[in-house]
Amino acid sequence: MVTTLTLTPTATGSGLSSGSSRGSSGKLYYAGPGAGRPAICKPKRGESSVVIRCQSMKTDEPKAKMNILDSASNLLTNFLSGGKMGSMPQAEGAVSDLFGRPLFFALYDWFLEHGSVYKLAFGPKAFVVVSDPIVARHILRENGLSYDKGVLAEILEPIMGKGLIPADIDTWKQRRRVIAPGFHALYLEAMVKVFTDCSERTILKFERLFEGEETKGGRTIELDLEAEFSSLALDIIGLGVFNYDFGSVTKESPVIKAVYGTLFEAEHRSTFYIPYWKIPLARWLVPRQRKFQKDLKFINDCLDDLIRNAKETRQETDLEQLQKRDYLNVKDASLLRFLVDMRGADVDDRQLRDDLMTMLIAGHETTAAVLTWAVFLLAQHPSRMKKAQAEIDSVLGQGRITFESIKKLEYMRLIVVEALRLYPQPPLLIRRALKSDKLPGGHKGDNNGYAIPAGTDIFVSVYNLHRSPYFWDKPNEFEPERFLVKRGSQGIEGWAGFDPARSPGALYPNEIISDFAFMPFGGGPRKCVGDQFALMESTVALAMLLQKFDIELKGSPESVELVTGATIHTKNGLWCRLKKREDIQ
């Protein structure tokens, strides 16, 4: 079956009122009516439209045709923007740029063509795409509370409720004040033990595979490491956030299935621009929505049980005392325990459940993706893998990793951040202006800034910033050492440069040190609360893996196709060959 959409290029560029989503096979699908894979025909000479044929998986027949881009809406957008935004460069890429590959690739090409602030007409909507650190800093930090999560909040609210990510500003202020202190130093130190225990479980599983039937005691095993990292990250987030052991590294269970079903739907919704699930009865009539409602209920019941349990054993404590607990030796060091025990932070169960669900989703796949891409990059750079292993051998030997040893594993930490630079999770941050604003001119001084009307939707492209040729030497190369290069030496004129002195004591480079040229966890008031948790978790897991194994890709790097949802994934898994190390010093 083919659905044909006619997209009419206008003076403001081509537009789409659709998106793409990750199908159950992990493919990128066109997500408009009659969702299926697109085949793009560029307009013939003299034609004013671009035809997109969307094939569903079964047949090839045309189904419908409709005009979705109407130039009046673009004129309206220009009008609303008071002319000023109208002078903003507009992306006029071929519609084909948007399909068959993740959106952020097309946004990168247009960034190189149109500059670091441009407008992209997207069906009846226009998005402003920002790839400049000064403008990003303004939107995220300096004027951060004048923007909310816009489209993203609309999509995630049915799953995360009033959790921090989609929360309205008032709820966010209240909850952020309570949740952020939960990630204090002693908690993070205790979490290192959770990271090592869970990583050990994964490694034990791999070691058993060497003895298994298929390998027959052979020297290599083949595995989809992306799937393994996903299980590992799920176990860690369950224990760290609500003291629940999913045990997903070693078993399957209904709750794990429900969690994956829900994560999958969160992912689907964040890439599917037509919120069909809001249509009355869709939750009962559309099978995947029925399944989603069932999964959600299953997890919500499970979270409600955990919350009830935590409340029944509540030990009300002042914040200061809570942060001094002996986290290394308590039975339950979780964030849930902290949130329930904090004096004066009484909150209804529904809000707590939203908080936990948000952290489960925000902290799971992001970390799994960092590990996946770090391995993908290292496997293509064996000398860097050896360098990392040499560091691990000298710092840890065959011993266990601790909070203190993370400080000594400098190269490992740089590998993690370099993987985040090249594959930021998520690659785009989404905002909507709550009131009119004036963006500052970009670092190149190529504009005087643009007026932004209230309601403007913005993509801050972290991917573009992280691969900007204006800020990074050889931006597409994997070079963890680059973070050791100090201010000015990246040779960027007009940009304050890379300066560790701005964030003394930071274990990992961050947005402050780089003045927003590197911002894997966002920045400003809505910066990730779990950044240090995630960075240490990734460092520990990767170091423990490399301590024991050499890793190669099973196929060529080109065969590892990339797709995006909320995070950047592989299309068919990261299949690797693991060999027990023979060179352990």
Q: Which residue has the tokens 């994934």?
A: 569
- Measure the CA–CA gap between 420 and 366, rounded to whole angstroms: 10
Question: Does 528 count as an annotated binding residue?
Answer: yes
String of contacts with ligand HEM for each residue 150-179, x by CB under 6 A: --------------xx----------x---
Determine the angle formed by the axes of helices 225-242 and 349-379, rounding to 10 degrees: 150
3-class secondary structure for 467-483? CCCCCCCCCCCCCHHHH
3-state secondary structure of 79: helix
Q: Which residue's CB is nearer to ligand HEM, number 32 or number 363?
A: 363
Q: Which of 89, 150, 363, 509 binds ligand HEM (CB under 6 A)?
A: 363
Cβ 144 to ligand HEM shortest distance, Å? 9
Cβ 242 to ligand HEM shortest distance, Å? 11
Q: Which residue's CB is nearer to ligand HEM, number 367 or number 464?
A: 367
Kindly report the number of other CB atoms within 10 A of residue 220's CB atom: 15
Q: Which stretch binds ligand HEM (CB under 6 A): 286-294, 307-315, 355-363, 406-414?
A: 355-363
Cβ 103 to ligand HEM shortest distance, Å? 16
Q: Would you count residue 359 as binding ligand HEM (CB under 6 A)?
A: yes
3-state secondary structure of 93: coil
Q: Retrieve residue 45's tokens.
A: 């000479």
- Measure the CA–CA gap between 341 and 358, rounded to whole angstroms: 20
Q: Which residue's CB is nearer to ligand HEM, number 372 or number 389?
A: 372
Distances (CA, A) of 487 to 131, 465, 481: 20, 17, 14
Q: Which of 530, 544, 553, 560 binds ligand HEM (CB under 6 A)?
A: 530
Site for ligand HEM in 231-250 (CB under 6 A): 241
3-state secondary structure of 420: helix
Cβ 293 to ligand HEM shortest distance, Å? 24
- Measure the CA–CA gap between 498 and 515, rounded to whole angstroms: 7
Q: Which of 18, 21, 243, 367 binds ligand HEM (CB under 6 A)?
A: 367
Q: Would you count residue 521 as binding ligand HEM (CB under 6 A)?
A: yes
What lies within 8 Å, CB to CB, of 582 at 6+ separation is none
Q: Retrieve residue 366's tokens.
A: 């992001």
Q: Which residue's CB is nearer to ligand HEM, number 165 or number 546?
A: 165
Cβ 276 to ligand HEM shortest distance, Å? 24
Site for ligand HEM in 368-387 (CB under 6 A): 370
- Measure the CA–CA gap between 94 and 13, rounded to whole angstroms: 9
Q: Retrieve residue 287's tokens.
A: 């099978």
Q: Would you count residue 188 as binding ligand HEM (CB under 6 A)?
A: no
3-state secondary structure of 522: strand
State the number of binding residues for ligand HEM (CB under 6 A).
22
Site for ligand HEM in 532-551 (CB under 6 A): 533-534
- Measure the CA–CA gap between 528 and 363, rounded to whole angstroms: 10
Residues in the annotated binding site for heme: 528
Residues that bind ligand HEM (CB under 6 A): 164-165, 176, 241, 358-359, 362-363, 366-367, 370, 425, 429, 520-522, 526, 528-530, 533-534
